[in-house]
């Protein structure tokens, strides 16, 4: 399920400067406050990464400090866009498990776009069945994915 980085040049749709701040500027704050701007070659884990560019909270570390990592995206269309970006990260198309083992769950592809009041959902995993917007997906535990990658130290985890 894991796909290694392509090794090709970063392929962004927009200028890097337009996406470097992440969703709300968090990567810059984390870099300054936690790492003092000094941690090079770190490892990130970003779950729900969309296309790997827009609102990405890990792109800053990759571009400025030579980090690599793991990008997790469950929505097939978004995952294809993510792979096209050629990020310096391993990618996986799955949802993160809420159990201690791999399991199947109803995954709502539009959950991230809803206000949370319309459906009972946690970042896509839904207790309701809606065949129009959901698909049964296999979810993997974070520790299993990281173990398959050689158990890297995660310096930054964006969930």
Q: What's the gap between Cα 86 and its chain centre?
A: 14
pLDDT, tens only, 107-141: 776 665 555 555 444 456 555 665 666 678 889 99
Architecture of domain 16-95+141-158: 3-Layer(aba) Sandwich (3.40)
Report pLDDT for 137. 82
User: What is the distance between the alpha carbons of residues 129 and 144, in angstroms, rounded to a whole number?
Assistant: 27
Report pLDDT for 131. 60
> In the predicted model, is pLDDT for residue 45 greater than 70?
yes
Q: Which residue has the tokens 């995993």?
A: 125
Report pLDDT for 122. 47
Report pLDDT for 112. 56
* Nearest C-alpha neighbor of 75 from the set 109, 27, 37, 25: 109
**Where along the chain do its domains lie?**
16-95+141-158
User: What is the distance between the alpha carbons of residues 31 and 38, in angstroms, rounded to a whole number?
Assistant: 8
Cα separation of the two ends of the chain: 20
User: What is the distance between the alpha carbons of residues 7 and 89, in angstroms, rounded to a whole number?
Assistant: 9
Global pTM exceeds 0.85 = yes
Strand-pairing partners, residue 157, are: 45
Report pLDDT for 158. 93
């Amino acid at each position: 399920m894991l796909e290694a980085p392509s090794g090709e040049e970063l392929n962004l749709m927009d200028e890097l400067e337009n996406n470097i701040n992440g969703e709300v500027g968090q990567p810059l704050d984390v870099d300054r406050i936690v790492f003092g701007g000094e941690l090079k070659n770190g490892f990130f884990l970003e779950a729900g990464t969309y296309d790997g560019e827009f609102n990405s909270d890990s792109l800053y570390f990759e571009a400025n400090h030579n980090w690599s990592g793991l990008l997790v995206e469950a929505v097939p269309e978004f995952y294809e866009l993510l792979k096209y970006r050629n990020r310096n990260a391993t990618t996986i198309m799955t949802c993160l498990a809420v159990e201690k083992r791999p399991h199947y769950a109803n995954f709502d592809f539009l959950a991230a776009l809803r206000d949370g009041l319309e459906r009972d959902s946690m970042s896509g995993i839904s207790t309701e069945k809606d065949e129009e917007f959901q698909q049964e997906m296999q979810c993997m535990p974070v520790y299993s994915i990281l173990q398959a990658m050689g158990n890297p130290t995660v310096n930054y985890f964006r969930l």
